[in-house]
Amino acid sequence: MLQVALVEPEIPPNTGNVGRLCAATGARLHLVGRLGFQVDDKTLRRAGMDYWRHLDWRRHAAFTDLEDYLAGNDGGGRVICFTTKSTRPYTAIRYQPGDCLVFGSEGRGLAPEILARHQPLAVTLPMPGKDGPAGQDVRSINLATAVAVGLYEGLRQIQGWEGPA
Q: What is the CATH number of domain 3-159?
A: 3.40.1280.10
Out of 20-29, 104-113, 135-144, 145-154, pick the least confident. 135-144
Q: 48: pLDDT confidence band, cut at 50, 70 and 90?
A: low
Angle of the 12-25 helix axis to the 143-159 helix axis, nearest 10: 10
Looking at per-residue confidence, does 48 or 78 come out higher? Answer: 78
| pLDDT tens column, 60-81 | 999 999 999 999 866 668 999 9
For the full predicted model, state whether its pTM sits above 0.85.
yes
